[in-house]
Structure 1
Amino acid sequence: MWGAQGTLYRSLRSEIEQNRKKNGYTLSKLGELTGINPGSLSEILNGNPPRAITIGQLDALAKVFGHDPGWLYELYTEECILEGRISRPRLIPYLIRCVEVGRKDCIEATVPQMMENPKNISILFALAEQLYEKGQLKESVPFYKYVIENEKDSYSDHFVMSQYRLFRVVLGTNAEENWESVIQFSPYRNRLPENYQLDALFQLARVCYALQKRNKSGEYGDELRLLAETVYIHELDRLKRNRKGEPLKTERHLVYYYGMGHLYKGAALEMQGLYEEAKQHVKGYADLGWFGLLDEVGRKDVERFKVWAKANSYTLEVLSGDTDVLEEYVDYLESLSTIDVLAGLNAIMKSANTYHFYVDEILERFASQIASFDQFTEAIGLDRHLRFRYQMAIYEFGKGRIERGIEETIYCLSLADLMNRHDETLTYIALFGWLGNMNKRIGNQNKFGG
């Protein structure tokens, strides 16, 4: 088909018709091969006006004609957008298929057409949500970004939820990217509905803890605990007054958010060396059996917090220099998961370096667990592993075991590089100062016949 300027004009139907004739298929035969009713095919190709074709039907035709998935997708937009009017039932499946077959070019060409009418932001958001719910998290990112870039009202539900989803999706092990995500999302956290706000605060506290942003982690822990308390009171009041309405739907049980608020606040205080203050928050989640609204999930969370509280109580005692509980603490660690063993050994190593006592036997006792610390690929596990290796380097250098100290220092540098925490590199390089100090002492001893 030729256009007014003498250029070849390709249309969806002309291409389909050319392929049908090229293969010698009648409409009846083509319908048999594709599973599309021949009458519908006739209306699609010859109707006046022609019947719209679905993306599924186009895919079926592509398969019969021997073309790759995504065939003619660049022409399909005309089925979805005509004279500024959008067919939502066709557009969303089309864009989802573009994602699935990698036709990014079609997405980039279609979105600007949609954004000629700002009301169509809701379609992009609905599409992003569909991908998110299907577990296609990375694929949802561009669409949430489109919403953020085109929505002028920063208080709109679509805008705020897109910020939240984007925050959740992009979190990984890269420290710089995680911190940028916190900065980008945190101003909008209080604009979320309460059920999402609870999880947002939990994630913010968690990420900041892994980034060693102790003040921020503590602040978000406080906010999380206070919000959980408020929601808890409202839910109890609703039940007491027999008010209608569904209970607040949250990703985790409400008791979990309350306990984690205390836990992250306590952890932040611990990182600052404020051990007595931290103990008060450990008490806050040590026994949450009083918490109402508990179901089976909630009761399991209560038991988990009991375990964590006992471990963290030992941790704070050891960090305070109480070596009398050390043996008891080590026995208890053997009953915990590897990630909790890592946290416990961190505390023991830090205390050993602060108060100058030997823990060689303890390290030997947990040798198999220590050898498996490389299994951690998530932010908090990697952060704990890095801190453990740092304390190990200090310990080994302090005991005069130079070769081991060097190995642990190199381990620190490797983990820091993996997590993109290059700002900490000088801290780990400074560990080599142990070598200079030791060589200087040895030189002085030789000089004076020591």
Structure 2
Amino acid sequence: MELQETMQRSLRSEIQKSLKENGYTLSKLSELSGIGTGHLSEMLNNNPSRAITVNQLDAMAKAFGHAPGWLYELYPEECLSEGKISRPRLVPYLVRCAEIGREDCIKAIVSNLLENPKNTSILFSVAEQLFQSGKQKESVLFYELVIDNEKDSYSDQFVMSQYRLFRAVQGTNTEENWKAVIRFDSYWKRLPENVQLDALLQLANVCFMMCRWKDVEKYADELRNLATIVYENELRRRTSSKANDLPKTERHLVVYYGQGFLLKAAALKKQRLYEEAKKYIQGYADLGWFEFLDETGKQEVEKFRVWAKINSYTLDMLLGNYEILPECINFLADYPEEIFPALVTIMECANKYGFCIDEVLERFSEYTSYREDDLNGLSASRHFRFRYQKAIYELQRERFAIGIDETLRCLALADKMKLYIPAHHVTRVIDEMIEAIPDK
């Protein structure tokens, strides 16, 4: 009997049932849901009936006092009929299922969809809508389905799905981030040039967070070369055409050019190749010559100028000229958002040359605190490096309780990031911390 009742259930019969149970007329339901009475009548009484959108179903659920997702398991009848698919209803339905966590409904309809490989385009559209609306986590399932079921690995939607998946899974987990880099590395060259710029910048940044300096160099070189090619092509195009729209990218073109130099210099600095790093800093210190600079571009150029100035200060200190610290600190005071990244290197300089920065740490103490839940990949990486350097700093000054506390905080961040350091690096880290403890 129960099976027979289940088989007889339909979207409209359940809505009619709720109308009776609540004692609502169509006018009352219209008033509560915001759906016109005429439309409700056409949905529930006409034959053939007017289609119900997923937003209208949500509105009726709210009117009847049900949670979001009410009757979603019956909604596919609005999208699939006699082998035909209504894409305008199916895509919003799948998007909504992902948003509220109705994976059961997604799995049920996807199995039918994938009987025809062409329907991967529907899944790609769903993934794109979720990704573009900031729901990257929810988009992952759909991009994976496209990748698993698209036979042409050179198709636009396959390659773009690989890129979006790479972006969507990034976080504080170093192990997962590296897996994402390895998985995506063989696909970025298949993207359109304008998207390649974004992809290379992301690849370099992820490798930077993982302290993989050679990989940062590799992607920074690729980024710098590609940005130069795109820039020169644009110069030639504008010579023969009046068109003035830059290639569509997430950031201004000057960002990719400048970041190619900045990331290269940063990777060299981390490998203690300071003089070589200086050469690359000059590559982004003054980008005012860059053509096509609108207001946004000019603001980006100013950011690079500031970063070059700060990085030049810190490089000089790493080379032993720590007398410029007061000048550096005064400069930083005008750029609060740059204080903490600079402090990481200043702390390293203090440890290398043994000078005291207690006053600096006190002055900028508000910039060194953090809540673990607020950390993203980049900020977690910076705090990890800062805590490590500060532990050494405190141990050198025989403030052992603080030094041990900073060491524990450093370990907690490493665990959060799943930062598994090779054994020989662990030995070096331990040796550095032991050496920081003064002999008695």
Alpha-carbon distance, 1:329 to partner: 3.0
Which residue of structure 2 aligns with residue 334 of structure 1? 333
In the alignment, which of 384, 409, 412 is matched to residue 411 of structure 1? 409
- Which residues in structure 2 correspond to 1:254-403 (within 5 Å)? 254-338=253-337, 340-355=338-353, 357-359=354-356, 362-375=357-370, 377-403=375-401
Q: Which moved more, 1:235-244 or 1:274-283?
A: 235-244
Q: Which moved more, 1:51-60 or 1:175-184?
A: 51-60
Q: Which moved more, 1:346-355 or 1:166-175?
A: 346-355
Q: Which moved more, 1:162-171 or 1:194-203?
A: 162-171
Which residue of structure 1 aligns with residue 434 of structure 2? 434
> Alpha carbons of 1:245 and 1:433: their partners in 2 closer, same or farther (altered >3 Å)?
closer
Identity %: 55
**1:396·1:404 contact (CA, 8 Å) conserved in 2?**
yes
> Alpha carbons of 1:395 and 1:91: their partners in 2 closer, same or farther (altered >3 Å)?
same
**Secondary structure in structure 1 of the residue aligned to 2:369:** helix
Report Cα offsets for 1:295-349 as digits up to 9, x if no partner: 11111111111111111112222112233434433433333325x3333333333
Structure 1: 5+ residue runs without aligned partners? Answer: 443-450
Report Cα offsets for 1:169-222 as digits up to 9, x if no partner: 222222222222222222211111122211111111111112101001111111
Alpha-carbon distance, 1:2 to partner: 9.6
> Alpha carbons of 1:32 and 1:187: their partners in 2 closer, same or farther (altered >3 Å)?
same
Which residue of structure 2 aligns with residue 120 of structure 1? 119
Q: 2:434 is matched by which residue type in structure 1?
A: W
Alpha-carbon distance, 1:246 to partner: 4.1
CA distance in 2 between counterparts of 1:64 and 1:396 reads: 62
**1:70·1:98 contact (CA, 8 Å) conserved in 2?**
yes
* Residues matched between the structures, number: 435
Structure 2: 5+ residue runs without aligned partners? Answer: none
CA distance in 1 between counterparts of 2:75 and 2:95 reads: 13
What is the alpha-carbon root mean square deviation over aligned residues? 2.9
Alpha-carbon distance, 1:20 to partner: 3.6
**1:394·1:431 contact (CA, 8 Å) conserved in 2?**
no
TM-score, scaled to structure 1: 0.87
Alpha-carbon distance, 1:371 to partner: 4.5
> Alpha carbons of 1:229 and 1:15: their partners in 2 closer, same or farther (altered >3 Å)?
same
**1:406·1:432 contact (CA, 8 Å) conserved in 2?**
no
- Which residues in structure 2 correspond to 1:146-165 (within 5 Å)? 146-165=145-164
Structure possessing the higher radius of gyration over alpha carbons: 1
Q: 2:355 is matched by which residue type in structure 1?
A: Y
Alpha-carbon distance, 1:105 to partner: 1.3
- Which residues in structure 2 correspond to 1:15-54 (within 5 Å)? 15-23=14-22, 34=33, 36=35, 40-54=39-53
**Secondary structure in structure 2 of the residue aligned to 1:291:** coil
> Alpha carbons of 1:423 and 1:51: their partners in 2 closer, same or farther (altered >3 Å)?
same
Q: Which moved more, 1:326-335 or 1:230-239?
A: 326-335
Q: Which moved more, 1:124-133 or 1:274-283?
A: 124-133
Report whether the alignment pairs 1:80 with 2:103.
Answer: no
TM-score, scaled to structure 2: 0.88
Q: Which moved more, 1:311-320 or 1:43-52?
A: 43-52
Report whether the alignment pairs 1:104 with 2:103.
Answer: yes
Q: Which moved more, 1:93-102 or 1:17-26?
A: 17-26
CA distance in 1 between counterparts of 2:125 and 2:154 reads: 18
CA distance in 2 between counterparts of 1:277 and 1:309 reads: 14
Q: Which moved more, 1:69-78 or 1:385-394?
A: 385-394
**1:129·1:140 contact (CA, 8 Å) conserved in 2?**
yes
CA distance in 1 between counterparts of 2:385 and 2:262 reads: 19
Which residue of structure 2 aligns with residue 229 of structure 1? 228
Q: 1:354 is matched by which residue type in structure 2?
A: K
Alpha-carbon distance, 1:385 to partner: 2.4
